[in-house]
Amino acid sequence: MVWSAIAILSILISSAQIDGRIAAIKDQSVTIDRGREAGILPGEVMDVYQTERMKNPQTGEEYEREVRAAGILVEEVQDRFSTGRVINSLRPIQVGDVLRQRTHNLVRSVSRTQSYLYADLTSDGVKWIKPGTKLWVFRRMNVIHPVTKRRISWLERVGEVEVAAVTIRTFSARCVITSYDKPILENDLLMPPEEKEKRLGEIHILNISGDKLLLNIFEGALPNAELVMMKEIPDNPDERFTLAKIKVIQVYRFTTEVQLLTPQHKDKLFVGDKVKVYQY
């Protein structure tokens, strides 16, 4: 499981946009080779990434992946270059290292007992995340669709934390892990619970047979995936929508067969209905 997560993060990070490189380093001060013309703004947080090679201890296969090395707070911005300071360092940084804007609150490190973790916050996150704030931990997942062969990415919730302390100077937080379904890893994402939903598609019911539904194919339709299907009822003021849990049984070339896990909703679903599908 750990190695699959590393491979996924490697694919996602390596395809990310490069927002700059380190041009010079003096003590904790860093010069960035991008400035105002590239959209760099004072006060934003950027992460330093380095490339390293790793070997799978089970297969012997070698991987090349990028790892976060440090966080940089941009302080002064000129037209074509910027300066900032190192706010947290995971490993020594070098001239030429890649810089990317920090767009999510990220797990920096986790205790061996999975009892607490340290997080690196975005410039927006440090404004609203306070002691007592409850956050959900998500992991980016990435698979190849068995039919369309397209790469599909989604967020899978792996745990929950409660913020214990926030250090504004270093844009970081210490969090207590309150629960987890899978071991929390470095670079997992931290988000408020209200951002948990990921809409997978807008689809139609093509056929109904017992507790089986036939739907047009939609992104995220993977065998055995358990999803939530929502049907809006605009003409009913007392019940605006109905929710039903479904499980993907089989993915065909143009359709998807699912099983209705909440049969009490069957009488509210009809052939031709337009529904939305979410993954929680």
CATH number, residue 207:
2.40.10.410
Partnered with residue 138 across adjacent β-strands are 157, 189
- The token pair at 70 is 């440090």
Partnered with residue 77 across adjacent β-strands are 82
**Is residue 123 located within the same domain as residue 145?**
yes
pLDDT at 161 exceeding the cut of 80: yes
What is the spatial distance between Cα 37 and Cα 77, in angstroms, rounded to a whole number? 10
pTM listed for this prediction: 0.61
Q: Tell me: the pLDDT tens digits for 186-236?
A: 989 998 876 545 555 668 888 888 899 988 877 667 788 888 888 877 665
DSSP 268: G
Domain end residue (candidates: 81, 102, 123)? 102
What is the spatial distance between Cα 265 and Cα 275, in angstroms, rounded to a whole number? 13
What is the spatial distance between Cα 63 and Cα 55, in angstroms, rounded to a whole number? 6
- The token pair at 81 is 């270059």
- SS3 of the chain: helix, strand, coil, percent, to 5: 10, 55, 35
Q: Which residue has the tokens 């960035």?
A: 32
pLDDT at 120 exceeding the cut of 90: yes
What is the spatial distance between Cα 79 and Cα 38, in angstroms, rounded to a whole number? 8
pLDDT at 16 exceeding the cut of 60: no
For residue 37, what are the contacts with CB-CB under 8 A and spacing of at least 6? 79, 80
What is the spatial distance between Cα 126 and Cα 169, in angstroms, rounded to a whole number? 10
**Is residue 1 located within the same domain as residue 96?**
yes
**Is residue 85 located within the same domain as residue 29?**
yes
Domain end residue (candidates: 195, 210, 238)? 195
Residue % of the chain over a pLDDT of 70 = 81
- Residue 253's domain comprises 198-279
Bridge pairing between strands 82-89 and 29-32: antiparallel
**Is residue 138 located within the same domain as residue 80?**
no
